[in-house]
Structure 1
Amino acid sequence: MTVTSQGAARDRASAVEVDVAIVGAGFAGLGMATQLARRGRESFVVLERADAVGGTWRDNVYPGIACDIPAHLYSFSFRPPADWASRYPSGAEIRDYLEQTVADEGFADRIWLRTELRQAHWDDAEARWVIAAGGADGSERTVLARNLVLAVGRLSEPKIPRIDGLDGFPGQVVHTAAWHDAVAVDGARIGVVGTGASAVQVIPHLAETAEELVVFCRTPPYVVPREDRRYTEQERAALRDPEVAAEVRDRLLTEADAAFRQRLGLHPDIDEIRARARDHLLAQVADPVLREQLTPDYEIGCKRILLSDDFYPALQRPNVVFEPSALESVIESKATARSGRTYDLDVLVMATGFEAARPPAAVRVAGRGGRRLSEHWSSGMTSYASTVVSGFPNMFVLDGPNAALGHNSAIYMIETQLDYVLGALDYTAERGVRVLEVSAEAEEAYTREIDERSASTVWLTGCDSWYVDPESRRLTLLWPGTAASFRERNGTFDPAPFLTEPDKVRR
């Protein structure tokens, strides 16, 4: 036996064996853990690289962070309704909700914090996943799992654009997803790069205290009124009733799904939402030059439609400069836009999104024959039922390929996937199946279905957005349909397209 194999043998001897290993403790991972804990059938652990749960809502703590989906739709239907203070929840409220979920459901001891996925590979002989995990302190742990659930999400790896000289900027550079208390914004000269969902929330708050705020805008967004409001005490009391909360959730879901007609470019739906955004701009921006600079030149709905009542007013403050071009270079403290205009800055805030189309975690997962998930997805993410991948047995991906929406709640989609995974686990247990792997043919057929559904949507016809894979030009992030159609298509596990291997012990 070689030294390497001796080390591997020792690692396996001290390994933790579970039925399910979950990677990620955001909404998807905690939802999966909640369902497994309630069933009490499968042993499980949750690997989380950070020091707390919450995922996106743990990492994003910039000023003004909030959700743009109503609270009663952006929460688990299987959890008692939370006492939301307003229609749209703040980031802190959502983080508290997730932390309370862990406490109430009683699985905190099965969450391994500060434990990052290093590598996961499928062991064909043992029919299980061998997972190497570790922490920043150098600790190493091995997990042997019959099933692997990747719940790393799409908004976990901040994206920093290539800007000449950025590394030499003497001031602070911070991505909105890495905000911290030491960011010195009061009285500072601040540059914000980007005008997406995070930017429209943080800009009004930074504008209140900055000496000067420069907003670098490559592409102006469509913005509609947010119209948030706080609930009265009577409303809050009524909404704590599970039946009332469920009725509100169902109504909100149906109303949001109706907006999918806009994404198909259907009239009058797309005309109405375009007019709403145009009227909002006209009502809030009087200066014709600024209004023209803020008018998008692409089809509405292709990029995320943003909700804000204070973004446009913030841009018109005397200490705010709207720069209608991208930040191109930095020389010491001087930032130069594509227009050629330059600005002296102390702080650069990157509201530039995430590496969503190509999840970095994919390079750490190897399926049959050692083929990495990143290689399988080299031409863009693909799957079957938006949850399983050919060549990666007993593995489930939550909030991954074609499992998000541009018009409705991600939590509803996650719950649909949870039902699918639980159905698969039930099937393998009842039938004595130790290996469950979707066929390549089924994945290819599903991919063709996605492409056909996507062809007529604004995401492929209206502009270039982060929803589309940068190389294949396929729509890989969004489900090209309604939330209800996703559940109808993918909410129930069907064993027909799977290759199975029986459990040798039970034969």
Structure 2
Amino acid sequence: MEDVIPIADTEPAASEQALIGAALETADINALRVALYQVTGNEELAAMRLQRREVRDGAAFVEVVAPADVPRVKALATEYLLRRRESPVPPPPDRTEQRRLVELLVGGPMLDAEFAMAVEELAMATHPHDAEWTTGRPSGKVDEFHVVVVGGGISGIAAAVQLKRLGVSFTVVEREPTVGGVWRRNTYPDARVDSPSVGYQFKFMQDFRWSEPYPSQGEILKYLDTVVERYDLAPHFRFGLEVTAARWDEECNTWEVSLADREGEQGSLVANVVITACGLFNMPKLPDVPGMDTFRGTILHSSAWPDSTVLQGKRVAVIGNGSTGVQLMPRVGEAAEFMAVFQRTPSWIVPVDSYKATTSPAEHWLLDALPYYWNWHVLSSFIADSRLFLGAQKYDRAWQADGGLISAANDKLRRYLTSYITSRMAPRPELVDKLVPTYAPLGRRVVADNGYYSTLLRDNVELVTEDIERFTPEGIVTVDGSERQFDIVVAATGYHVMRYLWPADYVGRDGQTLSETWRPQGPRAFVGMTVPGFPNLFMMGGPNGQPRAGNFHSWAETFARYIASAVVHMIENDVHSIEVRSDVFDDYNRRLDEAFTEIIWSTEAAGGYYKVEKGMGAVSMPWEHYEFHDLVRCFDVEAFILK
């Protein structure tokens, strides 16, 4: 039976009419329309037509309520909200009715696979990604089973919630002193996520109210701490411990997981199943430049930003202009006496509305006051975001044959972003050619503009595009022979994303290590989660485990469900080891490689982490998001060898 979503009976402020008006000014009108229709049944709302609105100069589109109907939606919403206390709240609709409503939201029919993903984003059940026991929890068998989860970030927390709800014994090992993963480590100035908060959250906690449309690092930690507290996960965590190795015991069908604390003290855990949730961004990558060890100033990686860092009156170099570099540069440029921005390859940088805004009390009030509006707002945002760039990620061979570069959508996006750069740099037109990338948009990760171009216009900021030749005791020398002196060098140079499960090496059957298995072709996995020869080992966000679209937390819940479903099958059926079949693994990766040939990362991602040294993608997956979701929505027992 599905959980019923609790609806808050929130008393509005003094002027209810004014509060409602303010709330509706911020509302997602299409989501508002469908939520109202669900609770009122007013067919006038269902009859309203949607219009396709182009965004980013035609590179993408969104479906919106026809402008002529917007005032009527607001009027009906006002009428309902004024009398909401007397209006009964209907229970969540069944799956058939949910499909009708979802198709009303999008303006037409959906594929079955699209709807299967959309209905989980809609989250009418408060735990839409739950794994479940077939006939109830088998207490005796469960009590003898233990799972080790490696990593206490978003993915590790998602796995912990799944296991907690199933009543399976587990331990989460986290090397930091508390939860948060990458968001605990990255405290550099203006650290924040570049995805909207409406999607950057778990579906099993629907009442957290974000204060920012794009949450900052501190608020993300607050959110994760709230999840841990609500689900009483803290007793299952062991902090300050790092997994150094793990070895499969063929006789016992268990993993021995070796641990070390910060003082070097050793320990171990025995697990029936290991789930790694280390994430891509766990091993910082520093520049490899001669003379770094001679530099007398401070070199710090963006992921290890000391609270004591003083920028005022300092000469600062920032190396790297990806998402992190672009986020921290404005604050560094404001504080420093002088800042040089060392750019090897320019990024495509996109303007984002409300990137550093705050969420109003009226917006929070509407989420609480209108039943199911949260659900439809979340789904509406998911659909809009997932459609935003998908058409620009694939080659259009006919378009190319007619002289186009990539596709109509990608070429329009290129023109839009080039125009944006040109307009922002109008006072310094000589920098435009240096800032416009030569590769296609989306070939690398698109970066949200945090004031990057405005910062480059400051008198105390210099853009340096010459390659770095070496460090000196006083600063940095570029290949043109110029030397610039610095007190601090900030390395916003990313992570070794291909070093999955670092720093531990996993030893599977016959003494084969995972690093040895991956050496010939690079990291490979079945559905991004498991590898032949390594039974009872699952990865969250493993090789090719980053979908092309969708919300990160929802994917974490989806992967956690897949793995937890495998655990359920093992316990219920007295299975001691579970290992993906080699033929299934090989066929999956063959199809994956074929699909990659139609994605622009195969030619446009050189130098970025979308494409690795061996020429294949090993981070993202090439299929449409709903196609990949269809592969991982249910645990496929036929793909595995069970013993």
- How far, CA to CA, are the matches of 2:466 and 2:367 in structure 1? 45
Show the 5 A alignment for 1:243-282.
243-258=372-387, 259-266=389-396, 267-282=407-422
Shift of 1:17: 7.8
For 1:446, the equivalent position in structure 2 comes to 588
Q: Is the 8 A contact 2:528 2:543 kept in 1?
A: yes
For 1:201, the equivalent position in structure 2 comes to 327
Query: 1:434 is paired with a residue of what secondary structure?
Result: coil
Q: Is the 8 A contact 1:459 1:467 kept in 2?
A: no
- How far, CA to CA, are the matches of 2:516 and 2:339 in structure 1? 42
2:540 aligned with 1:398, yes or no? yes
For 2:289, the equivalent position in structure 1 comes to 163
Show the 5 A alignment for 1:423-442.
423-442=565-584
Q: 2:162 aligns with which of 6, 11, 35?
A: 35
> TM-score, with normalisation over the residues of structure 2?
0.73
Shift of 1:328: 2.6
Question: Relative to structure 2, which stretch is displaced further, 262-271 or 106-115?
Answer: 262-271
> TM-score, with normalisation over the residues of structure 1?
0.92
For 2:433, the equivalent position in structure 1 comes to 292
- How far, CA to CA, are the matches of 1:340 and 1:202 in structure 2? 28
2:233 aligned with 1:107, yes or no? yes
For 1:98, the equivalent position in structure 2 comes to 224
Provide Cα deviations, 1:192-229, integer angstroms capped at 9, x if missing partner. Answer: 00110000000001010100000000001001101123
Q: Is the 8 A contact 2:246 2:504 kept in 1?
A: no
Q: 1:476 aligns with which of 613, 618, 621?
A: 618
- How far, CA to CA, are the matches of 2:361 and 2:276 in structure 1? 40
Query: 2:246 is paired with a residue of what secondary structure?
Result: strand
Q: 1:326 aligns with which of 459, 467, 471?
A: 467
Q: Is the 8 A contact 1:77 1:246 kept in 2?
A: no
- How far, CA to CA, are the matches of 1:448 and 1:240 in structure 2? 48
2:631 aligned with 1:489, yes or no? yes
Q: 1:77 aligns with which of 203, 224, 229?
A: 203
Q: 2:363 aligns with which of 190, 212, 235?
A: 235
Instruction: Please tell me the residue identity of whatever aligns with 1:235.
Output: E
Name which one, 1 or 2, has greater alpha-carbon Rg: 2
Q: Is the 8 A contact 1:302 1:465 kept in 2?
A: no
With over 3 angstroms needed to count, the CA separation of the structure-2 counterparts of 1:472 and 1:312, relative to structure 1, is same
- How far, CA to CA, are the matches of 1:362 and 1:244 in structure 2? 44
Shift of 1:240: 4.8
With over 3 angstroms needed to count, the CA separation of the structure-2 counterparts of 1:145 and 1:309, relative to structure 1, is closer
Q: 1:26 aligns with which of 145, 153, 163?
A: 153
With over 3 angstroms needed to count, the CA separation of the structure-2 counterparts of 1:297 and 1:339, relative to structure 1, is farther
Instruction: Please tell me the residue identity of whatever aligns with 2:219.
Output: E
2:600 aligned with 1:464, yes or no? no
Shift of 1:251: 1.7
Q: Is the 8 A contact 1:127 1:435 kept in 2?
A: yes
Shift of 1:335: 0.6
For 1:414, the equivalent position in structure 2 comes to 556
Instruction: Please tell me the residue identity of whatever aligns with 2:424.
Output: Q
Name structure 2 gaps, 5 residues minimum.
1-142, 397-406
Task: Extract structure 1 runs of 4+ deviating beyond 6 A.
Answer: none
- How far, CA to CA, are the matches of 1:19 and 1:472 in structure 2? 37
2:444 aligned with 1:303, yes or no? yes
Provide Cα deviations, 1:389-436, integer angstroms capped at 9, x if missing partner. Answer: 111101110011111145543323222211211221121122221111
CA RMSD of aligned residues (A): 1.8
2:253 aligned with 1:124, yes or no? no
- How far, CA to CA, are the matches of 1:17 and 1:466 in structure 2? 45
Query: 2:220 is paired with a residue of what secondary structure?
Result: helix
Query: 1:130 is paired with a residue of what secondary structure?
Result: strand
Query: 1:441 is paired with a residue of what secondary structure?
Result: helix
For 1:10, the equivalent position in structure 2 comes to none
Query: 1:221 is paired with a residue of what secondary structure?
Result: coil
For 1:8, the equivalent position in structure 2 comes to none
With over 3 angstroms needed to count, the CA separation of the structure-2 counterparts of 1:338 and 1:227, relative to structure 1, is farther
Q: Is the 8 A contact 1:206 1:213 kept in 2?
A: yes
Q: Is the 8 A contact 1:85 1:230 kept in 2?
A: yes
With over 3 angstroms needed to count, the CA separation of the structure-2 counterparts of 1:407 and 1:345, relative to structure 1, is farther
- How far, CA to CA, are the matches of 2:201 and 2:589 in structure 1? 29
With over 3 angstroms needed to count, the CA separation of the structure-2 counterparts of 1:18 and 1:211, relative to structure 1, is farther
Q: Is the 8 A contact 2:157 2:228 kept in 1?
A: yes
- How far, CA to CA, are the matches of 1:237 and 1:199 in structure 2? 36
Q: Is the 8 A contact 1:26 1:55 kept in 2?
A: yes
Q: Is the 8 A contact 2:300 2:490 kept in 1?
A: yes
With over 3 angstroms needed to count, the CA separation of the structure-2 counterparts of 1:199 and 1:215, relative to structure 1, is same
Instruction: Please tell me the residue identity of whatever aligns with 2:470.
Output: S
Identity of aligned residues (%): 29
Shift of 1:463: 3.3
Q: Is the 8 A contact 2:244 2:503 kept in 1?
A: no
- How far, CA to CA, are the matches of 2:254 and 2:463 in structure 1? 54
- How far, CA to CA, are the matches of 2:173 and 2:150 in structure 1? 5
Instruction: Please tell me the residue identity of whatever aligns with 1:281.
Output: I
Instruction: Please tell me the residue identity of whatever aligns with 2:159.
Output: M
For 2:515, the equivalent position in structure 1 comes to 374
Q: Is the 8 A contact 2:350 2:417 kept in 1?
A: yes
Query: 2:638 is paired with a residue of what secondary structure?
Result: coil
Shift of 1:362: 6.4
For 2:456, the equivalent position in structure 1 comes to 315
With over 3 angstroms needed to count, the CA separation of the structure-2 counterparts of 1:325 and 1:237, relative to structure 1, is farther
For 1:57, the equivalent position in structure 2 comes to 183
For 2:41, the equivalent position in structure 1 comes to none
- How far, CA to CA, are the matches of 1:150 and 1:341 in structure 2? 46
Query: 1:82 is paired with a residue of what secondary structure?
Result: coil
- How far, CA to CA, are the matches of 1:183 and 1:400 in structure 2? 34
Name structure 1 gaps, 5 residues minimum.
1-15, 502-507
Shift of 1:466: 3.2
- How far, CA to CA, are the matches of 1:431 and 1:238 in structure 2? 47
Number of equivalenced pairs: 485
Instruction: Please tell me the residue identity of whatever aligns with 2:381.
Output: L
For 1:181, the equivalent position in structure 2 comes to 307
Shift of 1:18: 5.2
- How far, CA to CA, are the matches of 1:162 and 1:334 in structure 2? 15
Instruction: Please tell me the residue identity of whatever aligns with 1:474.
Output: M
Q: Is the 8 A contact 2:258 2:266 kept in 1?
A: yes
